[in-house]
Amino acid sequence: ELGIKNIDGKFEFAFDEVRDIMVVDVFGTPDECRFQYDGINLSKEILRKYYRKTEWYRDVKNAKEEAKKKNIQNWRELVQTEPPVLPQDLKDGVSMIYKSLCNELTGIEFFDVPPFHEVIEKLSSLMSSYNILDLH
């Protein structure tokens, strides 16, 4: 109905004390399942994409490579930069995705946010402005 695709997800189960199967983690959330709408990941992956465009991310990659070459256990010691602060509008956009998805999927208005499709339009525009809109 919304046009959301569940690309993949995980379900975690265990046995209880009498060997009955029980769920041991949440499922069906944007953090557990990889939901997409029109090629846009509906999760914190958006924030990861932002960070992947930063000097800090390049520094982390280089530190990991250098640590591997030099057999250094803690690559974090080699990172010279701090991660940049996420832009507030991008954090708010991702937060609205979670909230609007909750409202839409449950049919209950838990959060005072615009409808899902409006949130997607705003988020697409934000992602485009930060050069992280990758629909491939």
Closest Cα to residue 91, out of 132, 53, 50? 50
The pTM for the full model equals 0.78
From the CB of residue 39, how many other CB atoms can be counted at a distance below 10 Å?
11
Q: Write out the chain in H/E/C secondary structure.
A: CCCEEEEEECCCEEECCCCCEEECCCCCCCCCEEEEECCEECCCHHHHHHHHCCHHHHHHHHHHHHHHHHCCCCHHHHCCCCCCCCCHHHHHHHHHHHHHHHHHHHCCCCCCCCCHHHHHHHHHHHHHHCCCCCCC
Per-residue pLDDT reduced to its tens digit, 80-104: 999 999 999 999 999 999 999 999 9
Q: Where are the domains of the chain?
A: 40-129
Looking only at the bridges linking them, the beta strands covering 4-9 and 13-15 are unpaired
Per-residue pLDDT reduced to its tens digit, 13-59: 999 999 999 988 777 777 777 888 988 888 888 999 999 999 999 99
pLDDT band for position 135 (50/70/90)? Answer: low
pLDDT value of position 11: 81
